């Protein structure tokens, strides 16, 4: 049975996108070999990537490009070749390599994917999906990278949540570039 992980970068004020839906704040301008190694190592893992339509559109506009392959070859190879599921009621088809389109019943489909998968399922971005999955108690682990920037406004992953969820810290790691990696599991 697969576990469901959420991996997202967030600003110091808790947003995973800025007010325009952009996630570029998460990309540090300066070189940091330790951080680059962490990102490449994280990309080595397998699993199934889960996206909402907006995040899918952002990812497919970058990872299959020559620029992505040149800038981050290991990550680009994994992003392009791992199995992906996009949840959308509005998309007609998903053309990115190894992508399945699911239109209905997000919680039931994720429960089914968890039961049938031998690998982890990983949600990146996709705030409305994270909120729905959290509300249904389906997320096994949250992996957050806190980026040392304040956006002032934007989107939180937990918008619309109808109650409190407590977490316990499993691991933390500080990088030279100021990023802070946090792993949490639901406390109950």
Residue 43 has pLDDT above 70, yes or no: no
Q: Which residues of 144-153 are buried (b: 16+ CB within 10 A; e: fewer)?
A: bbbbebebee
| Tokens of residue 154, six digits | 């934007």
Mean pLDDT, rounded, for 160-174: 93
Q: How many domains does the chain have?
A: 1
Of 15-19, 35-39, 49-53, the one with minimum mean pLDDT is 35-39
Query: CATH code at 151?
Result: 3.40.430.10
* Six token digits for residue 118: 């031998």
At 4 the pLDDT is 96
Residue 125 has pLDDT above 80, yes or no: yes
Q: Please report which confidence band the pLDDT of residue 38 belongs to, taking 50, 70 and 90 as the band edges.
A: confident
Whole-structure pTM value: 0.89
Token couple for 185: 């599991």
Whole-number Å distance between alpha carbons of 47 and 28: 26
Q: What are phi and psi of 26, to 5 degrees?
A: -80, -10
* SS3 per residue for the chain: CCCEEEEEEEECCCCCEECCCCCHHHCCCCCCHHHHHHHHHHHCCCCEEEEEHHHHHHHHCCCCCHHHHHHCHHHHHHHHHCCEEEECCCCCCCCCCCEEEECCCHHHHHHHHHHHCCCCEEEECCHHHHHHHHHCCCCCEEEEEEECCCCCCEECCCCCCCCCCCEEEEEEEECCCCCEEEEEEECC
Which residues constitute the domain of residue 66?
Answer: 4-186
**At residue 41, does pLDDT exceed 80?**
no
**Rounded Cα distance, 180 and 79, in Å:** 23
The rounded radius of gyration (Å) of the Cα atoms in the chain is 16
Residue 45 confidence (pLDDT) = 67
The whole-number average pLDDT for the span 147-169 is 93
* 23 confidence band (pLDDT: 50, 70, 90): confident
Q: Average pLDDT of the chain? A: 90
């Amino acid at each position: 049975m697969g576990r469901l992980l959420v991996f997202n970068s967030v600003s110091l004020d808790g947003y995973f996108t800025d007010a325009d839906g952009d996630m570029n704040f998460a990309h540090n301008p300066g070189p940091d070999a330790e951080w680059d190694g962490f990102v490449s190592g994280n990309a080595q893992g397998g699993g199934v990537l889960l996206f909402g339509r907006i995040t899918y559109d952002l990812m497919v506009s970058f990872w299959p490009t020559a620029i992505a392959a040149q800038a981050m070859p290991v990550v680009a190879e994994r992003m392009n070749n791992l199995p992906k599921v996009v949840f959308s009621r509005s998309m007609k088809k998903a053309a990115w390599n190894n992508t399945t389109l699911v239109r209905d019943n997000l919680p039931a489909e994720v429960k089914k994917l968890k039961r049938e998968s031998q690998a982890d399922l990983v949600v990146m971005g996709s705030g409305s999906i994270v909120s729905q999955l959290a509300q249904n108690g389906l997320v096994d682990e949250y992996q957050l990278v806190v980026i040392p920037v304040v956006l002032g406004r934007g989107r939180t992953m937990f918008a619309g949540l109808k109650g409190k969820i407590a977490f316990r810290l499993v691991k933390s790691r500080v990088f030279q570039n100021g990023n802070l990696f946090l792993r949490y599991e639901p406390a109950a």
